[in-house]
Structure 1
Amino acid sequence: MTSTDEASESWAATRDASWYDRPNVRSDKVVHMAGRVIAYGTASRCGRSVLDDDSSWVPENVPQRLRCRASGCRQAWAAHPPEDER
């Protein structure tokens, strides 16, 4: 995905924690909107993490409580209201 594809092909995912020795897999994770492609993968719109491509979501299917609230992601979520709020 290139920077021009970002607006036309929106997707969301949890952060990639594959490099941690013991990642926490017991609790719900925050879901970020996909941003630009970087050397390690795809960065989140908020710039806080690299996303796990295997955990991708359709943005409208992400519940409000799981959505990242940081500035870049919050702005991107505005274009994708949750299904239960339509």
Structure 2
Amino acid sequence: MATTETADEPWAAQRDASWYNRPNTRTDKVVHVAGKPSLYGQMSRCGRSVLNEDLMWSLEGVPEHVRCQGSGCRQAWPVATRTASDGRHHP
């Protein structure tokens, strides 16, 4: 997990489940991109979750398979760079 240096940069996190009586901790959760602040904390850009600000990720540090694919989050993820077999980088 990569943490961000400052809160001014875009960041991501998993949802905050601290208020649930029995949060599911057995399965991996998706990582959301931070959006607007709310009364209860920082909301995700997709609007689905309040985020756990204790473990912040840089957007580039989040593996593609755990990225939230909700509309707001999906649009905020950086485009992955793929390397062709000839060694050139392609967006």
TM-score normalised per structure 2: 0.76
3-state SS of paired residue (2:51):
coil
> Which residues of 2 match residues 1-86 of structure 1 at below 5 A?
9-77=9-77, 80-82=78-80, 85=82
Percent sequence identity over matched residues?
58
- What residue number does 1:3 align with? none
Cα distance, 1:25 vs structure 2: 1.0
Task: Tell me how many residue pairs correspond in the alignment.
Answer: 77
RMSD: 1.9
Task: For structure 1, list consecutive stretches of 5 or more residues without a partner in the other structure.
Answer: 1-5
Work out the CA distance in 2 between the residues paired with 1:65 and 1:51: 19
Give the residue type in structure 1 aligned to 2:62. V
* Structure number with higher helix proportion: 1
Specify the alignment match of 2:4 in structure 1.
Answer: none
Paired residues of 1:45 and 1:72 also in contact (CA < 8 A): yes
**Higher strand fraction (1 or 2):** 2
TM-score (norm. length: structure 1): 0.81
- Deviation beyond 3 Å, 4+ runs, structure 1: none
If you compute each CA radius of gyration, which structure gives the higher value, 1 or 2? 2
